[in-house]
Structure 1
Amino acid sequence: MLEENIVLKWVHRFGIDSLNDLLIHSSALRGFHHEEENQEQITLIDENHEEENQEQITLIDENHEEENQEQITLIDENHEEENQGQITLIDENHEEENQEQIRLESLKTLENLEETNCESNYLKISNNNEVFNTKQDSNQVNQYIETPKLPLPNIKNLRKWINKDKKAS
């Protein structure tokens, strides 16, 4: 009905001969109107596609983030297990080294005890010889007394033993 009103006003104002101009303008207007509608639809479709694309991108990003987080967690767990294994090996190695050091210190202590016992035995024998010599000297002044042969001490203590023997005579 609106179109009829427009056509009537056009004919009344410009005449019937100009009706073709109106049809050309109206088809151009329709084309323009269709173009506007098409543009609006294209805009709506683009907006809709953009929203869908953004949602898909967000979902993909979230999925990748979850996968990356899972991979990072797996890598961290793997590194933690490797580090724990290395720490255990290092601890075992240190424990073995400490046990070896304890054994060496025990051997040194045992050697020192043996040295001390040898020196103590030597001193006892020396004291016994001196007492015996003193008794012999008092009973027989010119008689030669042969000293008993002492057991050889540890090779490490041989120099000390020789020096002490020189001082004693």
Structure 2
Amino acid sequence: MLLKNHLIEVFKQASLENNSLLKDNVVHKWVHRFGIDSLNDLLIHSSLQKENQHEEGNQEQISLIDEIHEEGNQEQISLIDEMHEEENQHEEGNQEQISLIDEIHEEGNQEQISLIDEMHEEENQHEEGNQEQISLIDEMHEEGNQEQISLIDEMHEEENQHEEENQRQIRIESLKTLKKLEETNCESNYLKISNNNQVFNTKQDSNQVNQYSNAPKLPLPNIKNLRKWINKDKKAS
């Protein structure tokens, strides 16, 4: 608000002195600081003040001229010159103040812009850091899942191998048992056959003995016919 009033006063003073350069500079500062929509505020206040000050100035100049003409005092003329000089110096001081204020505002804006850029850059870096952490966590989870899957596959493979080994051992034991059973059966059959053969031979021998005992006794042949009888018996047998 103080800056707005100050610019209005400077513009009024420039209008009274018909200083177009200063007025353009004030308008430029006003638009840059408050926007073009508020420019009418500057022009309206300046126009009214210009009329009032112009009228007052005319009255003062008329009175002063009358006094000068009336008194004819050279000191009044010197005073007027001093007043104009002071006004010029005041205007130059105002111009310096405006320039200083503009520089301060511009520096402040640049600092704010730099600070905002730094904040955005830090936010971007922080976001990139978060993305890297998320990617690292995902990679660690994926590696952990792969290791778990590999471990489960190895366990399943070992179980399958163990089961195959058990099946192979069972088959081997079954074959051994079957072979023993076959050997046992063969021995049992062999014993049965041997026993049967022994019984059969025993019976046959008994039958032959009985047949020999029951056979009628023949008279002994003569010695002359003994060789023929032996040969005949061999052929018969």
Partner of 2:17 in structure 1? Answer: 16
One-letter amino acid of the counterpart of residue 129, structure 1: V
Partner of 1:114 in structure 2? Answer: 184
Q: How does 1:65-84 map onto structure 2 within 5 Å?
A: 65-84=135-154
Partner of 2:163 in structure 1? Answer: 93
- C-alpha displacement of 1:101: 2.9
Cα distance change of structure 1 residues 23 and 43 upon mapping to structure 2, 3 Å threshold: closer
Counterpart among 18, 26, 29 of residue 27 in structure 1: 29
One-letter amino acid of the counterpart of residue 16, structure 1: E
One-letter amino acid of the counterpart of residue 30, structure 2: A
Q: How does 1:118-133 map onto structure 2 within 5 Å?
A: 118-133=188-203
One-letter amino acid of the counterpart of residue 29, structure 2: S
The TM-score normalised by the length of structure 2 is 0.42
- C-alpha displacement of 1:51: 3.4
Q: Hey, what's the Cα distance between the residues in 1 that align with 2:170 and 2:211?
A: 59
In structure 2, the gaps of 5 or more residues are 1-13, 36-101, 214-237
One-letter amino acid of the counterpart of residue 115, structure 1: N
The TM-score normalised by the length of structure 1 is 0.55
Q: What SS does the corresponding residue of 2:211 show, helix, strand or coil? A: coil
> Which of these two proteins has the greater Rg computed from alpha carbons?
2
Q: Are residues 1:53 and 2:123 paired?
A: yes
**1:101-126 deviations in whole A, cap 9, x for unaligned?**
32222111111111111111122222
Cα distance change of structure 1 residues 23 and 76 upon mapping to structure 2, 3 Å threshold: closer
- C-alpha displacement of 1:38: 8.0
- C-alpha displacement of 1:127: 2.3
After TM superposition, the runs of 4+ consecutive aligned structure 1 residues lying more than 6 A away are: 32-43
Q: Hey, what's the Cα distance between the residues in 2 that align with 1:70 and 1:108?
A: 56
Cα distance change of structure 1 residues 89 and 137 upon mapping to structure 2, 3 Å threshold: same
- Tell me the matched-pair count: 131
In structure 1, the gaps of 5 or more residues are 1-10, 144-169
Q: Hey, what's the Cα distance between the residues in 2 that align with 1:76 and 1:22?
A: 75
Coordinate RMSD, CA, aligned: 3.8
Q: What SS does the corresponding residue of 1:61 show, helix, strand or coil? A: helix
Q: Hey, what's the Cα distance between the residues in 2 that align with 1:74 and 1:23?
A: 70
Q: Hey, what's the Cα distance between the residues in 2 that align with 1:138 and 1:132?
A: 10
Q: Hey, what's the Cα distance between the residues in 2 that align with 1:125 and 1:23?
A: 145
Q: Hey, what's the Cα distance between the residues in 1 that align with 2:25 and 2:143?
A: 72
Q: Hey, what's the Cα distance between the residues in 2 that align with 1:84 and 1:96?
A: 18
